[in-house]
């Protein structure tokens, strides 16, 4: 910091000007000893060169630039997200990409706050920003909540419930694809781009770091009607308390129909203090391994399965295997859908 901390709060599609604006929430955190400059930058679909230059001037020399971008949700013609408001592209609309690039070119570190009801493909903007906070549509108290995260009053622990693509040409893009097609064929990438998402399902960061260690299976076989205890330790390797979401994935290796390469079968949010080690045990039910066969009926089929425990669908460092034993049961009636979780 140089003297009074200086913050540039740039234009806002989701957060309007006072009352309840992002700049007001930021000023309340900085206090009288800070210098907060506000510039509109541009709107969602409008904006001009003068406004973008004003944002660049405000960001120049600041300690950090907080740039709010995204969409407006609703049914009006001015909305870009909502019922009957479909789009051809999934990037930031209007002149917002230009605004992000111009502010980043000042050399001031940029924190990009994205306000949107849909996953936006923003690879270029994400690379230009030092950090990205996805606020979705946070409502009236959104500015205060986002400010809590930006200033470290709250340690975020959110994880993506969807996959966010780089480009509209990747859609549909989801982690539970079959072992074939454009997500896993032998050449992998597209001719003109990556087949990987911008951010995978289950991804999210916080102000601390975690490690998953010591994956343990209670047994190597599972019978119909039973369950399998899958345990793992979560260690906070950072310097402040935080939440990690431990995710349990399963793959059916031997099946009569093609099965997804990975399916979420359980998850647990665990609060861990710095240096602390906590144990998480999932009780995976045999019922969760049932699937619909070629005859359209639910079936429970014996065979080999792989277990994976990680922090996103693309970060599964711990794996093991087991076998479902017994006879084929078809039709099958499922009674359990989710793994029970115990946190110690």
Domains of the chain: 6-150 (3.40.50.1700), 210-343 (2.60.40.10)
Q: Distance between CA atoms of 38 and 61, rounded to whole angstroms?
A: 14
Q: Distance between CA atoms of 198 and 336, rounded to whole angstroms?
A: 33
Answer yes or no: are the C-beta atoms of 110 and 100 closer than 8 Å. Answer: yes
Closest to 135 (Cα-Cα) out of 78, 71, 190, 81: 71
Answer yes or no: are the C-beta atoms of 33 and 4 closer than 8 Å. Answer: yes
Q: At what angle do helices 96-104 and 49-59 cross, to 10 degrees?
A: 30
Element (H, E) at 125: helix 123-128
Beta-bridge partner residues of 105? none
What is the pLDDT tens value at each position of the chain, 344 positions in all? 234 455 666 655 544 344 457 778 888 888 877 889 999 999 999 999 999 999 999 999 899 999 999 999 998 988 999 999 999 999 999 999 999 999 999 999 999 999 999 999 999 999 999 999 999 999 888 999 999 999 999 999 999 999 999 999 999 899 999 887 556 567 778 888 888 999 999 999 999 999 999 999 999 999 999 999 999 999 999 999 999 999 999 999 999 999 999 999 999 999 999 999 999 999 999 999 999 999 999 999 999 999 999 999 999 999 999 999 999 999 999 998 899 999 99
Give one DSSP letter per residue of 199-219, joined into a string: B-TT----SS-EEEEEEEES-
Answer yes or no: are the C-beta atoms of 72 and 43 closer than 8 Å. Answer: no
Predicted TM-score (pTM) of this structure: 0.90
């Amino acid at each position: 910091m140089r003297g009074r901390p200086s913050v540039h709060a740039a234009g806002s599609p989701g957060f309007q000007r006072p009352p309840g604006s992002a700049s007001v929430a930021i000023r309340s955190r900085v206090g009288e000893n800070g210098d907060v400059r506000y510039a509109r930058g541009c709107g969602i679909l409008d904006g001009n060169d003068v406004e973008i230059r004003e944002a660049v001037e405000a960001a120049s020399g600041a300690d950090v630039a907080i740039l709010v971008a995204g969409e407006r949700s609703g049914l009006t013609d001015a909305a870009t997200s909502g019922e009957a408001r479909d789009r051809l592209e999934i990037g930031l609309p209007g002149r917002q990409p230009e605004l992000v690039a111009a502010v980043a070119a000042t050399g001031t570190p940029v924190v990009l706050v994205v306000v949107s009801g849909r996953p936006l493909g923003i690879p270029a903007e994400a690379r230009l920003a030092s950090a990205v906070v996805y606020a979705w549509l946070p409502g009236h108290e959104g500015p205060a909540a986002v400010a809590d995260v930006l200033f470290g009053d709250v340690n975020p622990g959110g994880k993506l419930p969807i996959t966010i693509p780089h480009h509209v040409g990747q859609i549909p893009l989801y982690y539970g694809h079959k072992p074939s097609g454009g997500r896993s064929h032998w050449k992998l990438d597209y001719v003109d781009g990556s087949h990987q998402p911008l951010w995978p399902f289950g991804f999210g960061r916080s102000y601390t770091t975690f490690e998953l260690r010591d994956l343990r299976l209670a047994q190597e076989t599972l019978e119909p009607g039973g369950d399998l205890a899958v345990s793992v330790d979560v260690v906070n390797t950072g310097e402040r308390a935080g939440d990690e979401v431990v995710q349990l994935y399963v793959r059916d290796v031997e099946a009569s129909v093609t099965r997804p390469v990975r399916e979420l079968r359980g998850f647990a949010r665990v609060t861990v203090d710095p240096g602390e080690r906590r144990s998480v045990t999932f009780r995976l039910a045999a019922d969760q391994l049932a699937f619909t066969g070629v005859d359209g009926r639910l079936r429970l089929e014996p065979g080999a399965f792989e277990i994976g425990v990680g922090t996103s669908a693309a970060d599964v460092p711990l794996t093991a295997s087991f076998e479902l034993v017994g006879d084929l049961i078809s039709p099958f009636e499922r009674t359990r859908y989710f793994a029970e979780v115990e946190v110690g």
